[in-house]
Structure 1
Amino acid sequence: MNSENSNGNERENRKGPVNINFILFLFGRVVSDTGTSIQMMIMPLYIIDAGGTAATVGVFSFLSLMPALLVYPFAGVIGDRRNRKIIMVVTDFVNAGAILGLALLSNWGVMRLSFLLIVQVVISLMNGLFEPATRGMLPQLVKKEELTRHNSIVASTRSASILLGPVIGALLYASFGVTLVFVANGVSFMISGISEMIIRYTHIKQEAPDGPKGMLNDLFEGVRFVLQNKLIRKLSFFLLVSYFVIQPIFSVILPLFFKKSLSFSDAHYGYLQTIIILGALIGSVMVGYLFGKEVRMSKPLVMGSSILLSSMFIFSILLFPKSLYIFGNDSTIYFILLASILCMFSAGSMFISIPVQSFIQQATPNEYMSRVFSLVNMISRGGIPFGALMYGTILERAEMHWTMLITTVLMIFAMTMLLISLSRSYSDR
Structure 2
Amino acid sequence: MNKKRKKKFLNTNFVLFLAGRMISDVGSSVQMVTMPLYILDIGGSAATIGMFSFLTLLPALVIYPFAGVIGDRMNRKKIMVGTDLMSAGAILALGFISYGGFMRISLLLIVQTVISLLNGLFEPATRGMLPGLVAKEELTQSNSAVASMRSLGILLGPVIGTILYANFGITMVFLMNGLSFLLSGASEMMIQYVYVKQQRIAGMKGIVSDLQEGIAFIMKNNIIRNMCYFFLVIYFVVQPIFGVIVPLLFKTHLHYLDTQYGYLQTIIILGALLGSVAVGVLFGKGEKIIKSFKIGSGLLLGSMLMFSILLFPRSITVLGNDTILYFALLAGILGLFSLANILLSVPMQIYIQRQTPDEYMSRVFSLVSMISRGGMPLGALAYGMALEWVNVHLVVLTAVLLMIVICHIFIKSHSSI
* TM-score w.r.t. length of structure 2: 0.87
Which residue of 405, 408, 416 corresponds with 1:416? 408
| CA distance in 2: counterparts of 1:221 and 1:83, whole angstroms | 20
Match of residue 3 from structure 1: none
Displacement after TM superposition at 1:280 (Å) = 1.4
**1:311 and 2:282 aligned:** no
List per-residue Cα deviations over 1:382-428 (Å, max 9, x = no partner): 1012223444555566554444334323322321210121224x3xx
Displacement after TM superposition at 1:366 (Å) = 0.8
| CA distance in 2: counterparts of 1:60 and 1:390, whole angstroms | 13
Displacement after TM superposition at 1:194 (Å) = 2.0
Distance 1:15 1:339, change over 3 A: closer
**1:95-110 → structure 2 map (5 Å cutoff):** 95-103=87-95, 109=100
Structure 2 contact 144–277 (Cα < 8 Å) conserved = yes
Structure 2 contact 34–165 (Cα < 8 Å) conserved = yes
Displacement after TM superposition at 1:265 (Å) = 5.0
Distance 1:58 1:403, change over 3 A: closer
Which amino acid counterpart does residue 399 of structure 2 have in structure 1?
Answer: T
SS in structure 1 opposite 2:377?
helix
List per-residue Cα deviations over 1:232-263 (Å, max 9, x = no partner): 10111121121111112233444455555555
Which residue of 12, 16, 19 corresponds with 2:11? 19
Displacement after TM superposition at 1:197 (Å) = 1.8
Structure 1 contact 14–142 (Cα < 8 Å) conserved = no
Structure 1 contact 245–387 (Cα < 8 Å) conserved = yes
Structure 2 contact 8–134 (Cα < 8 Å) conserved = no
Which residue of 227, 238, 247 corresponds with 2:230? 238
In structure 2, stretches of 5+ residues that fail to align are none
SS in structure 1 opposite 2:414?
helix
**1:241-390 → structure 2 map (5 Å cutoff):** 241-258=233-250, 261-262=253-254, 264=256, 266-324=258-316, 326-390=318-382
| CA distance in 1: counterparts of 2:123 and 2:362, whole angstroms | 9
Distance 1:38 1:414, change over 3 A: closer
Structure 2 contact 158–262 (Cα < 8 Å) conserved = no
Which residue of 64, 68, 72 corresponds with 2:64? 72
**1:90 and 2:82 aligned:** yes
Distance 1:173 1:147, change over 3 A: same
Displacement after TM superposition at 1:174 (Å) = 5.3
| CA distance in 2: counterparts of 1:200 and 1:305, whole angstroms | 39
SS in structure 2 opposite 1:423?
coil
Which amino acid counterpart does residue 90 of structure 1 have in structure 2?
Answer: G
List per-residue Cα deviations over 1:117-143 (Å, max 9, x = no partner): 444333221111000000011111112
Match of residue 161 from structure 1: 153
Work out the percentage of aligned pairs sharing the same amino acid.
58
Match of residue 128 from structure 1: 120
Distance 1:17 1:224, change over 3 A: closer
Displacement after TM superposition at 1:266 (Å) = 5.0
SS in structure 1 opposite 2:192?
coil
* TM-score w.r.t. length of structure 1: 0.85
Displacement after TM superposition at 1:190 (Å) = 2.1
Using the TM superposition, name which of 239-248 and 164-173 deviates more. Answer: 164-173
| CA distance in 1: counterparts of 2:170 and 2:322, whole angstroms | 34
Structure 1 contact 13–142 (Cα < 8 Å) conserved = no
Displacement after TM superposition at 1:179 (Å) = 4.7
Structure 2 contact 267–331 (Cα < 8 Å) conserved = yes
**1:192 and 2:193 aligned:** no
Displacement after TM superposition at 1:147 (Å) = 1.6
Which amino acid counterpart does residue 346 of structure 1 have in structure 2?
Answer: S
Distance 1:338 1:80, change over 3 A: same
Distance 1:256 1:91, change over 3 A: closer
CA RMSD of aligned residues (A): 3.0
Number of aligned positions between the proteins: 412
